[in-house]
Chains A and B, each alone.
Chain A
Amino acid sequence: MSLRTKIRNYFVFLWRCARIAFAGDSRYYAWMGFLSIIILLGINAYAKQFVHGLIVTGMSDQVSWGVYIANFTFMVGIAAAAAMLVIPVYIYNNKELHDLVIFGELLAVAAILMCLAFVAVDLGRPDRFWHLIPGIGKFNFPGSMLSWDVIVLNGYLLLNVHICGYLLYCRYLGKTPAKWFYIPFVFLAIAWAVSIHTVTAFLYVGLGGRPFWNSSIVGPRFLASAFTAGPALIILALQVIRRVTDYHIHDRALLTLRSIVQVSMLINVFLLVNEIFKEFYTRTSHVASSRYLYFGLHGHHALVPWIWVAIIFNLVSMTLLVLPLSKSLRYLNVACVLAITGIWIEKGMGLVVPGFIPTPLGEMVEYSPSLNETLVCLGIWAFGILCYTIFLRMSIPILQGRLSRANEGLPDVHLVNAR
């Protein structure tokens, strides 16, 4: 095959993928239309923020990071969790999960896109974004953990785009993927997944002036909670996929993921207990942020209901997960929803905000997100879900063989049929 044909084939592939993203049944259009409206609301809110500045958020000099960075942190965990599907398949040769790995990796791609969006909307000067680009900007590497984060997040994005893109394209062409061209990247991506969340934890851990974050348990807790919430989200996503498409997913795969969530949740709760003991048994003056978070401090207790809801959700979820009860999907789903919500609260409001309260000079200023800030967040969430929907819309017909090089030029039956 000449190079020209190869390039032509590739562009035909991209074109057909792009076309199929715009085709579907009425439910598909309704879903995409709904997401688009939320994205537009988010864009509108961000345009206001762009003009008037971050003053339209609930942040202040005292609490200078809020839900943007909280959601960013949570989504890094979701992205990292793709490794929890890759490891069983590529290291332990798990058969059930084999065909599902790609859904985890695509979720990672969507999650990283959301991470980048959450960081971008948090910048005071988005027009100076190019200062962050190695080579043309002025990159403080290796000094700043944020510069590490730029590298690991974009690297992880590229790795996953490469792996998913290559495997899907091979399936489209109907040829066996060349092992050397993706297996090394798969293993690299496993280590990389751990690194993105570790580096994100170090972003906080490295700040000596914030005792709440300056603790070596933050990194391990990040990983444990990510490896709980991520696979839990994948369990739910897979069930949605098999409900709305005709892609076959066996219950055994979901139960394999259940055992991963089970173990991660136990470790997650264990680490939480460690942290709480250290903070409250010693009761040094450094416990102020934790006291504020769990019990309130000097009459300020905005986060108290949140964190207790999170803890109760985590404990109920853990109980469900260890009981044989959760072998039934209904209970497993409840456990997953509780775990995701609990960890989202704990990682977001529960980790980022109390780090700032009280301030290093002992001032108590509370934070709650503004409406505008919330709309921007919802917009980014909708954007991430839209991306994931599109990725699935493209990849499922390819995996099923309905979108392939072989049927190029034929009337696109799958555009009408597949939902």
Chain B
Amino acid sequence: MSDQKPPSAPPPFGEVSRRSFLRNSAILASGAAALAASLAPLRELSNYTSVELFLQKHYKELTPAEMQKVLDRIAREVEQQYHIRPRVRDYKPMDGVEFVYCLNLTRCIGCRKCVHACVAENNQSRNPEIQYIRVLKMPHGSLDMERADHNYAPASVPEKGFFYMPVQCQQCKNPPCVKVCPVKATWQEPDGITVIDYDWCIGCRYCEAACPYFARRFNWTKPSIPKERLNPEMSYLGNRPRRQGVMEKCHFCIQRTRQGKYPACLEVCPAGARKFGNALDPESEVAYILKNKRVFIQLKEELGTSPRFFYYFDV
């Protein structure tokens, strides 16, 4: 332990304060300069947020008039950035509708056309690349996803001895992502679609950690979409362009399906492996499949998430 130094007699009072005043000013000035220098990267910041966006309320708290203003703001921003006037709408769920997806594993050939149709429809970032659908190449006789190949690239598909399993948001009835979100930026709509308010998400990525299906994607940087590829038919909870630092994922093409159209991935599928519709309508194709196909599975059924996405086989 060190021994105590005897207190040195303080120099005359006024002198100390003048000298220390000058010294302190010098320290403060150089400190402020160093701080300013360290913050220099902020000068590159552009279009990060706006007063309107910063103060915007949660989706569920916006009145119709406020929502219109928000949609106008989004249209304005898109036009500014892409020089295309988009049509931005907020489509509401339809009564008596619960969307489900059925995917025929016997038919899927692993061509990944669905992946790219999805990117084009939903204005995903091309650089860095964001894709909602991940197609797994699986060896026959196993559903163990640890044996899946994610990056297969043969000259032609399908390959002998394998089957293909596309995975996207499973639109769970009991979604772990919704449960963990600290700010209720993601929730389940009455028609079964789990949506994200891109203007409310804080980017903590807890939902991404919670999802058992690797369905969520984060905007690690500012997304970039070539102007000529932009889809101008947009919706608030769907395919409008996202900002840096927020989460996104498959929303069953909400801007199409809430108008009675099919999702983009279904329309493009050359094998007819994808079926989509209203499970509450007994006449629908999906109701027929769920009733009559003898083999169908929900991924990771044991987790209790209860997906609205069913995989089936032709028997």
Contact = CB atoms under 8 A, between A and B. Distances in A.
Contact of A128 (B146, B202, B244): B202
A36 B31 contact: yes
11 contacts: A44-B38, A48-B41, A53-B244, A131-B185, A138-B184, A138-B185, A146-B206, A147-B182, A209-B210, A361-B167, A362-B150
B144 to A, nearest CB: 6
Contacts of A358: 146
Interface stretch (A258-266, A335-343, A381-389, A410-418): A410-418
Nearest to B48: A127
A411 B179 CA distance: 59
B226 to A, nearest CB: 19
Interface in B198-233: 200-206, 208-214, 216-222
Contacts of B13: 411
Given A47-B42, A242-B1, A52 B182 contact: no
A388 B147 CA distance: 50
A207 interface: yes
Contacts of A206: 180
Interface in B126-183: 128, 134, 136, 144-148, 150, 167, 176, 179-183
Contacts of B201: 124-125, 128
Interface bin, chain B: 35 or more
Contacts, number: 202
Contact of A132 (B10, B35, B134, B202): B202
Interface in A37-55: 40-41, 43-44, 47-48, 50-55
B143 to A, nearest CB: 11
A124 B144 contact: no
B41 A44 contact: yes
B39 interface: yes
Given A65-B205, A288-B146, A417-B5, A51 B10 contact: no
A53 B222 contact: yes
Nearest to A60: B220
Contacts of A125: 201-203, 243, 245-246
A125 to B, nearest CB: 4
Contact of B41 (A51, A132, A146, A419): A51
B81 interface: no
A140 B58 CA distance: 13
A124 B205 contact: yes
A369 interface: no
> How would you classify the secondary structure of chain B's contact residues: helix, strand, loop or mixed?
loop
Interface in A126-157: 127-129, 131-132, 137-140, 143-147, 150
A210 interface: yes
Interface residues of A, number: 67
Nearest to A204: B209
Interface stretch (A182-190, A243-251, A306-314, A319-327): A243-251
Given A47-B42, A248-B1, 9 more contacts: A43-B39, A144-B179, A145-B180, A207-B180, A208-B303, A243-B1, A361-B214, A362-B144, A413-B10
A138 B200 contact: yes
Contact of B220 (A59, A139, A210): A59
A122 interface: yes
Contacts of A122: 204-205
Contacts of A207: 176, 180, 209-210
B300 interface: yes
A122 B146 CA distance: 29
Contact of B219 (A48, A53, A132, A210): A53
Contacts of A147: 182
A181 interface: no
Interface in B83-116: none
B34 interface: yes
Q: Which of A137, A209, A355 has the most CB of B within 10 A?
A: A209
Contact of B148 (A36, A41, A361): A361
A77 B20 CA distance: 41
Interface string B3-41: 111011010010000000000100000010011011111
A216 interface: no
Given A47-B42, A208-B212, A128 B222 contact: no
Contacts of B270: none
B190 interface: no
Interface of A: 22, 36, 40-41, 43-44, 47-48, 50-55, 59-62, 64-65, 119, 122-125, 127-129, 131-132, 137-140, 143-147, 150, 203, 206-210, 242-244, 246, 248, 285, 288, 355-356, 358-363, 411-413, 416-417, 419
A120 to B, nearest CB: 10
A101 B242 CA distance: 50
Q: Which of A60, A132, A138, A207 has the most CB of B within 10 A?
A: A138
B45 interface: yes
Given A144-B179, A361-B134, A209 B211 contact: yes
Contacts of A209: 176, 210-213, 300, 303, 305
B242 to A, nearest CB: 11
B205 A64 contact: yes
A246 B1 CA distance: 8
Interface string B295-313: 0000010011100000000
Q: Which of B4, B8, B245, B246 has the most CB of A within 10 A?
A: B245
Given A44-B38, A53-B245, A246-B4, A131 B150 contact: no
B44 interface: yes
Contacts of A356: 209
Contact of A127 (B42, B49, B136, B144): B49
B80 interface: no
Contacts of A36: 31, 34
A358 B58 CA distance: 35
B292 interface: no
Report, nearest first, the 6 A-B pairs whose CB atoms are least far apart: A124-B203, A209-B212, A124-B245, A53-B221, A362-B145, A146-B182
Contacts of A47: 38-42
A206 B176 CA distance: 9
B2 A246 contact: yes
Nearest to A213: B209
Given A61-B217, A125-B202, A362 B146 contact: yes
Interface string B49-60: 100001000100
Nearest to A144: B182
A206 to B, nearest CB: 7
A60 B217 CA distance: 9
A50 B41 CA distance: 9
A128 B183 CA distance: 10
Q: Which of B49, B206, B217 has the most CB of A within 10 A?
A: B206
